[in-house]
Chain A
Amino acid sequence: MRDVAVVGFAQRQMPEFDGSPTCVELLVPLFAECYEQTGWTRRDVGFWCSGSSDYLAGRSFSFVQAVDAIGVIPPVNESHVEMDLAWAMYEAWLKIQTGEVDTALVYAFGKSSAGVLRRTLALQLEPYTMTPLWPDTVSLAGLQARAGIDAGLWDETAMAEVANRSLTDAEKNEWSIRKGGSSVAELLARPVYADPLRKHDCSPVTDGAAALVLAAGDRAREVRDRPAWITGISHYIDPMGMGTRDLTRSPSAQRAGAALDLGGVEVAELHAPFSHQELILRRELGLADDVTINPSGGALTSNPMFSGGGIRVGEAASRIWSGEAGKVLGHATSGPALQQNLVCTMAADVEGAAN
């Protein structure tokens, strides 16, 4: 395996973007930030890959205009996944592993606020016997949260602890759209919304975009003193059926973590759009109590669809660049109730940089 590092990261998050769902307008300054961080121009980028969804935009081929933001004369080596940024990054990492290219810029975008997000996402479900009932995202998460509460695996206090820590940490993140921790008692005193969930147990509807830059070997060392070397990247999917899987578990997250060496991880950015999902992920990944979780405030405070997972990788990588941590973990999820999961470990030390 080639040594590949995350060397650039830029993001935009907001409650309501008043521009076009193509998000070209958001991407232009993101790419400019990536060029500034790397000292590159677009011609230094060997491969491009993006992630987005036509159903967020409400039209077919909503991703095609995004390539304008790159400037595609001459044409580029480019691909697109109908998935989160983290999986676009995975495709780019593969491309670099084949030896075809040494560098990549991956990006994702989504205007969640264009429609009613929790309803739009009902179209992700099995279309014959689930979608016709329009089960919304919050309801599916509520079923999952209750299953864990009933099984004694967590309780509303544990969920409020996650929310309070996230809201407190979000105060330091200029991009978080919900912030301001108080106390577990105060959070528990707030009304229950979708029983058993309170509003702060659910991520807010967020618009946004993000970009990550990958580079191999010396190309990475040229960019940063402390590149975030990808020491492992792994992803799996579970069946969708809400009735056939144990909702208190996420076997795909467990498998993705088990495929990597998580020993020594100091910071973990977990893509948990609902508070109880962080508790599931910590358990499935076997993270020790001294691992710092979601210092960015996490997806619970800001979760732009299709970039929310990749942002976790970028936030984790930035802790390596800054010297705050020597080994970090970024996680992304997709599908209802933690159906699909990706885990990426990064380290300042290139030793052991292999899958």
Chain B
Amino acid sequence: MARTLSAPVTVAFDYTRSTGPVLGRFLTGLRDGVLVAGRTSEGEVVVPPLEFDPVTHQATSDFVEVAPVGTVTSWTWVPEPVKGQPLDRPFAFALVTLDGATRPLLHAVDVSSPEEMSTGMRVRVRWAEERQGAITDIAAFEPDPGGDGVATTAPGTDEPVTGVVTPVALDYNYAASPEESAFYRGLNEGRIVGQRCPACQKVYIPPRSACPADGTPTAEEVELSQTGTVTTFCIVNVPFLGQKITPPYVSAYVLLDGADIAVLHLILGIPAEEVRMGMRVKAVWKPREEWAFSLENIDHFAPTGEPDADYDTYKQHL
């Protein structure tokens, strides 16, 4: 058995970026099939334009068009491209000083082996088939002579580009701590397992790599009761992105009998407006065949029908 539980997770969002006027000008140029550089106060011609001048700190306002052809000033081979890079086969990243510019642009060069690359080589822009006002409108550079670097298709609009959507998707392998793993393994067996802190003797659920009071890992395993008391709660009426449960629902802190800290869970089996602080509840499990290493094995907590707990018995948990 592995020491800890782990599972893949992807963190993904399509970010909506507003570009501001300077980068917007550059991206508008790309959509229109031209390369727009900015001229700095010291006369450097920079692609993409710097948003603010490095010397005067003023917003860049002097723009010039530069050629879609230029010279490689440095390059590196990419033997194992990662997801999202301009090409999914080995290629070169290069710094390319476009004719008319004084500073190079970073982009990909599409060649099949490092032997085809050299500092000083001439390269041309290969435009993407559809341009939308993004750096990826340049599909890649290719050795010159290749195409003529002239964009063929006309843009569909003359509205300036003010924003760009950037998808960011990162794959992680998420591992639980050993203490959390013990907790999730218990849930997979229908048990709610806490651990006691050897210093303060408090019973934690889930168990912790460090008791936050003492900085000591919780250790002694304590199987907790499946019943407990609602200390406090809220009724969620708001839908949100990624939500798995349809509102309205009650999210509540449930202090299981034998635990010294409440666990957050759902209360069902009673109208939301009838849920009370002090209400006694019990765990309602999903069918066994749906169990996994997850707190979601407990579908929700439902009222036991016992009299409410006295406020004094749980007020120190608020």
- A interface, CB within 8 angstroms of B: 18-22, 24-25, 27-28, 31, 42, 55, 58-59, 67-73, 113-116, 118-120, 122-123, 127-136, 138-147, 150, 192-197, 239, 241-244, 247
Q: Give the nearest-CB partner of B26 in chain A.
A: A129
Name 16 extra pairs, CB < 8 A, besides A116-B82, A197-B76. Answer: A19-B3, A19-B178, A71-B214, A113-B173, A128-B166, A133-B106, A135-B85, A135-B93, A136-B78, A143-B75, A144-B74, A194-B78, A195-B77, A196-B76, A241-B50, A243-B46
Q: Which residues of B contact A193 (CB under 8 A)?
A: 79
In the complex, what residues of A have CB within 8 A of residue B117's CB? 195
B78 with A139: CB separation less than 8 A:
yes
Nearest B residue to A58, CB-CB: B172
For A113, give the chain B residue with the smallest CB separation.
B173
5 A-B pairs with CB atoms under 8 Å apart are A128-B17, A132-B164, A197-B76, A244-B44, A244-B46
* Residues of chain B within 8 A of A134, CB atoms compared: 82-85
Contact A133 B215 (CB under 8 A): no
Does B54 lie at the interface of the complex (its beta carbon under 8 Å from any beta carbon of A)? yes
Which residues of B (261-313) have their CB < 8 Å from a CB of A?
Answer: none
Judge if B170 is at the interface, Cβ distance under 8 Å: yes
Task: Give the residues in chain A near B171, CB-CB below 8 Å.
Answer: 115-116
In contact, A69 and B82 (Cβ under 8 angstroms): no
B76/A139 in contact, CB under 8 A: yes
How many angstroms between the C-alpha atoms of A1 and B34 in the bound complex? 56
Residues of A within 8 A of B48 (CB): 128-129
Quick check: A194 and B77 within 8 Å, CB to CB? yes
Q: Is A132 within 8 A of B4, CB to CB?
A: no
A71 and B210 within 8 A (CB): yes
Best-surrounded residue of A31, A68, A241 (most CB of chain B within 10 A): A68
Query: Is the beta-carbon distance between B212 and A67 smaller than 8 angstroms?
Result: yes
A19-B175, A133-B106, A150-B74 are contacts. A119–B83 as well, Cβ < 8 Å? Answer: yes
| Known contacts A115-B172, A119-B82; is-contact A132 B166 (Cβ 8 Å) | yes
Q: Do A25 and B209 touch across chains, with their CB atoms under 8 A apart? A: yes
B258 CB within 8 Å of chain A: no
Given contact pairs A58-B172, A194-B77, A24 touches B210 in the complex (Cβ within 8 A):
yes
Tell me which residues across on chain B come within 8 A of A139, comparing CB atoms.
76, 78, 93
Residue in chain B with minimal CB distance to A196: B76
Pair A128/B19 contact, Cβ less than 8 Å: yes
With A20-B177, A133-B85, A135-B93 known to touch, is A239 a contact of B54 (CB < 8 Å)?
yes
B114 partner residues in chain A, CB cutoff 8 A? 192, 195
Taking a contact as CB atoms under 8 Å apart, the answer to whether B170 and A71 are in contact is: no
Residues of B near A136 (CB, < 8 A) are: 78, 82, 85
Minimum CB–CB distance from A183 to chain B (whole Å) comes to: 25
The answer to whether A133 and B136 have CB atoms under 8 Å apart is yes
Smallest CB-CB separation from B76: which chain A residue? A142
- Contact present for A243 and B106 (CB under 8 Å): yes
Nearest CB of chain B from residue A140's CB, rounded to whole Å? 8
Known: A114-B172, A123-B168, A244-B103. A133 touches B212 (CB 8 A): no
- B121 close to chain A: CB less than 8 A: no
Cα A196 to Cα B27 in complex, Å, equals 32
A135 touches B172 (CB 8 A): no
B93: chain A residues at CB < 8 Å are 133, 135, 139-140, 142-143
Indicate whether B105 reaches chain A with its CB closer than 8 angstroms: yes
Known contacts A134-B83, A244-B54; decide if A68 and B209 are in contact (CB<8 Å).
yes
Are A58 and B166 in contact (CB-based, < 8 A)?
no
Question: Is B6 interfacial (CB-CB < 8 Å)?
Answer: yes
> Which chain B residues border A42 with CB–CB below 8 Å?
215
Q: Does B149 contact A (CB under 8 A)?
A: no
Closest to A126 in B: B48
B91 nearest CB across to chain A (Å): 10
A69 and B19 alpha carbons, distance in the complex (Å): 41
Which residues from B are CB-within-8-Å of A247?
74
B78 pairs with A115, CB closer than 8 A: no
Give the nearest-CB partner of B82 in chain A.
A119
Question: For window 200-243 of chain B, which residues contact chain A by CB distance below 8 Å?
Answer: 208-217
| Residues of chain A contacted by B217 (CB below 8 angstroms) | 25, 28
Q: How far is the CA of A119 from the CA of B77 in the complex (A)?
A: 15
